Amino acid sequence: MFQAFGVHGPELTPFADMVIDVLLVALAFALLVTAPRTSRHDVYLLATFVAAVTALRVLLQPLPNVQPVTVAALLVGAQLGARRGVAFAVLVTLLSNLLIGDGWWTLFQAIGWGAVAVIGSQLNLGTADKFRSGQLYVAAVCSAFVFDFIASLSIVTSGTTLSDFAVYLAHGLPFDVLHALGNLTFAVWFGHFVFRALESIDSLEELEQSVVEDYVVEG
């Protein structure tokens, strides 16, 4: 299955790469399908956001560990719920890595940004008129370290010792700090705007409540 061991973990054969990508795509669409009453407008808006964040990540690739995906995953999770947040995270990871570089690490990056989306789903950022920006800023900084730790697990093999992994994490701390500062910048820059834009898509909780209410009325 593995060809060699690279900087970001084992290098996969093309077939193994394809299997991981197909499984991640299947997961993303399964999560989207479970979101009830998703209109075409909602799908188009979410797809546009996926494309925009993907493009921005690719454009910012020359900057070490500075990208908008973490903050975007937080916001999508906060506004649209964990399932669509994770689906968003998986799709952005796959699309951007097709251009930047796909491999074993893609799985861990998808898990990392998916975890960030789940964290976002637990946030109460208020409304567009009463936006709790402070919560987003704190979550954006903390999520950088959560994501980087999960993504770092891609280098772990049966021969990796705890001390080896600790040294690897220590060497990555400057990049973690850059990630956190970048997240804070993105949160200040477009956090409120994106949060307001995503309000046009009903949150997953609102959709589920609507389904329950319609069932009660029809019953």
> For residues 144 and 70, is the Cβ–Cβ distance under 8 A?
yes
The pTM of this model reads: 0.84
Q: What is the mean pLDDT of the chain?
A: 85
Residue 19 vs residue 7, higher pLDDT:
19
Per-residue burial over 20-45, b if 16 or more Cβ lie within 10 Å, else e, is bbeebeebbeebbeebeebeeebeee
Choose the weakest-confidence range: 60-64, 97-101, 102-106, 202-206. Answer: 202-206
Neighbours of 11 (CB within 10 A): 16
Per-residue pLDDT tens over the stretch 29-47: 898 887 655 667 677 888 8
Residue-level pLDDT at 9: 63
Residue 88 vs residue 206, higher pLDDT:
88
Per-residue pLDDT tens over the stretch 190-215: 999 999 888 877 544 444 444 445 44
Place of tokens 């394809």: 18
Residue-level pLDDT at 123: 92
Residue-level pLDDT at 207: 47
